[in-house]
Amino acid sequence: MDILVARQHGKLEVSTQQPGGWSPQVVEPGSPDLAALVGELEETDPRWVWADTSAVYPCLLSAGVRVGRCADLRLCHAILRMSTWTRDSELATLPAGRWDVPVAVAAELPSLLDDLGGLDDVSRSELLAEHERQQSAIAAASQPGRLRLLTAAESVGGLIAAEMRHVGLPWSATVHDHQLTELVGPRPLPGGRPAVVERLVGEIRTLLGAPGLNPESQPALLRALNSAGIEVHSTRQWELEQAQHPVIEVLLQYKKLARLVSANGWTWMDAWVTDGRFHPDYVPGGVVTGRWATRGGGALQLPKQIRAAVVADPGWKLVVADAAQLEPRVLAALSADTAMARASKGADLYGALVSDGIVATRPQAKVAMLGALYGATTGEAGMLMPNLMRAYPKATGVVERAAREGERGHQVMTWLGRTSPRPGEHWRTVQERAAQPDATPADQRAARRQARDWGRFTRNFVVQGSAAEWALCWMAAIRRELSALCDDPATESVGRPDLVYFLHDEIMVHTPAALADVVSQIVRAAAGEAGRLMFGDFGVEFSIELTVADNYAQAK
């Protein structure tokens, strides 16, 4: 049963379906009435239909209410509007309208959009019309089951992102401060450099004979390096490492510490950590491939250096799990490559490549596999490609075909139907110019290069996007089972385990210690369920590496 949640003039209109039509109830977003109403209706296990989870759900969470399922019409619109399987639907052929908001900016502009009748102010009839367009588009698609799964998974992703932000990642400001202080000295005054960084800057200036040099200025630093006789063309780490000069070690040390302080130092802590929790702002569907992005806080780039600051509460544990070699396993499944599926039977897919005699060492296996997924043509990865293609012709055939499609400007699809964007106008112009009779060799070179670039994008899109779909299914199954666990009276008294972190192929659950084993089993079982949900009984194993830890640095 669907329940519609419209939003008008800042009030929420909750409509249930009755024999005579829709029956609305209007409530204030912050009122206790809302929590009571939603909580009561949730008993019937409905699907909540609303325009934008990130606009509605946070206020429910603040009121202490969670929901099990929803349809996020904005997220689903973006998928169905683009998918090849729904290209002839009314939804895809209508002119662009209010639902065509780029995912990344949608949550950013609610106040601006207020006046313009934006997404956060949607009447019930508009909501219903869009919902029906989406349902018809899916029903008429050649793979309705996959699109139904994809839109459900994307929507539950929206719920999970809001819940994880609400709950927050347990973060010890004390540990974080200790780590920073140990590395760079105590917190400096505003605008000042920490003592260790200041000392390194002094040494760099002396060693380069450049008083007053600001090493943050790339052009100035490059000039100073060249004047000192160091022949580099950039100031990148990998190039500096080649050079022989006493300043190099100091400079690399400086870069590492300066980066840490500016990206995840005390200022970051002030902005993002409150009451012992880091509240990251995830953006589901924020990446073209369907991966999540973040908006501020950099939750997807937490440096390994500071992960010890993620600490479980006393009496609690962190269950940290990642899907081992997820992308190769997803490729094996979506290409139905039985030889590669056999290699997935163990915990270590790369190890299987070695024992099957396809490559000589595990590092080679990894390089070769990532090379196939990313489109490497040169170096070690390029040299190993023939071996891989011989061993796994179906799997490598899928990524090679995806690359050829992209080179021709065609679109490709993930397993569940998310479709890659068309290349931009500039791309087509360059290709057309190269096809003219008077095209110069330079025109043709540029066109070939650009075509190959887009081919690498579409090659990776298929695997990265399908892996993102698997991860959503995995997380959705975990969430459902954790929620069932909370409803169990036997576990009620100890506290509720919660998903608190997601990083592409990795999840973290913060759980009462007494439930850590049960939670671990749930996380493992959910991986098998995600595989079956997406690929049926095709025999790819999705192996999980799992650690029960007190802090995040202990994982892996």
Applying CB under 7 A, the residues found at the interface with DNA are: 104, 214, 216-220, 222, 233-239, 255-256, 259, 262-263, 268, 283, 286-289, 291, 293-298, 300-305, 322, 367, 370-371, 374-382, 453, 456-457, 460-461, 464, 503-506
Q: In angstroms, what is the minimal distance from the CB of 300 to DNA?
A: 6
Provide the angle, in degrees to the nearest 10, between the axes of the packed helices 441-487 and 425-435: 150
Q: In angstroms, what is the minimal distance from the CB of 502 to DNA?
A: 10
Q: How far apart are the first and last CA of the chain?
A: 43
Helix or strand (DSSP H, E) at 407: helix 393-407
Q: In angstroms, what is the minimal distance from the CB of 11 to DNA?
A: 31
Give yes or no for a contact between 304 and 260, defined as CB atoms under 8 angstroms apart.
Answer: no
Q: In angstroms, what is the minimal distance from the CB of 332 to DNA?
A: 18
Region of residue 276 (phi > 0: left; psi between -120 and 50: alpha; otherwise: beta): left
Q: Considering the complex, state which of residue 75 and residue 138 has its C-beta at the smaller distance from DNA.
A: 75
Q: CA nearest 187: which of 251, 250, 302, 270?
A: 270
Q: Considering the complex, state which of residue 3 and residue 544 has its C-beta at the smaller distance from DNA.
A: 544
Long-range contacts of 144-148 (CB under 8 A, 24+ apart): 146/85, 146/415, 146/416, 146/417, 147/79, 147/80, 147/83, 147/85, 147/86, 147/416, 147/417
Q: In angstroms, what is the minimal distance from the CB of 479 to DNA?
A: 20
Give yes or no for a contact between 413 and 462, defined as CB atoms under 8 angstroms apart.
Answer: yes
How many C-beta neighbours within 10 Å does residue 342 have?
15
Q: Rounded to the nearest 5°, which phi and psi values hold at 265? A: -95, -155
Q: In angstroms, what is the minimal distance from the CB of 328 to DNA?
A: 12
Q: In angstroms, what is the minimal distance from the CB of 356 to DNA?
A: 22
Q: In angstroms, what is the minimal distance from the CB of 534 to DNA?
A: 19
Q: Considering the complex, state which of residue 533 and residue 553 has its C-beta at the smaller distance from DNA.
A: 553
Q: Considering the complex, state which of residue 295 and residue 342 has its C-beta at the smaller distance from DNA.
A: 295
Give yes or no for a contact between 531 and 514, defined as CB atoms under 8 angstroms apart.
Answer: no
Q: Considering the complex, state which of residue 152 and residue 311 has its C-beta at the smaller distance from DNA.
A: 311
Q: Considering the complex, state which of residue 433 and residue 504 has its C-beta at the smaller distance from DNA.
A: 504
Which string of b and e fits 481-493 if b means at least 16 CB within 10 Å? bbeebeeeeebee
Q: Rounded to the nearest 5°, which phi and psi values hold at 193? A: -95, 150
DSSP codes of every residue in 190-229: TTPPPHHHHHHHHHHHHHHT-TT--TT-HHHHHHHHHHTT
Q: Considering the complex, state which of residue 31 and residue 305 has its C-beta at the smaller distance from DNA.
A: 305
Q: Considering the complex, state which of residue 134 and residue 235 has its C-beta at the smaller distance from DNA.
A: 235
Q: Considering the complex, state which of residue 249 and residue 380 has its C-beta at the smaller distance from DNA.
A: 380
Q: In angstroms, what is the minimal distance from the CB of 102 to DNA?
A: 11
Region of residue 317 (phi > 0: left; psi between -120 and 50: alpha; otherwise: beta): beta
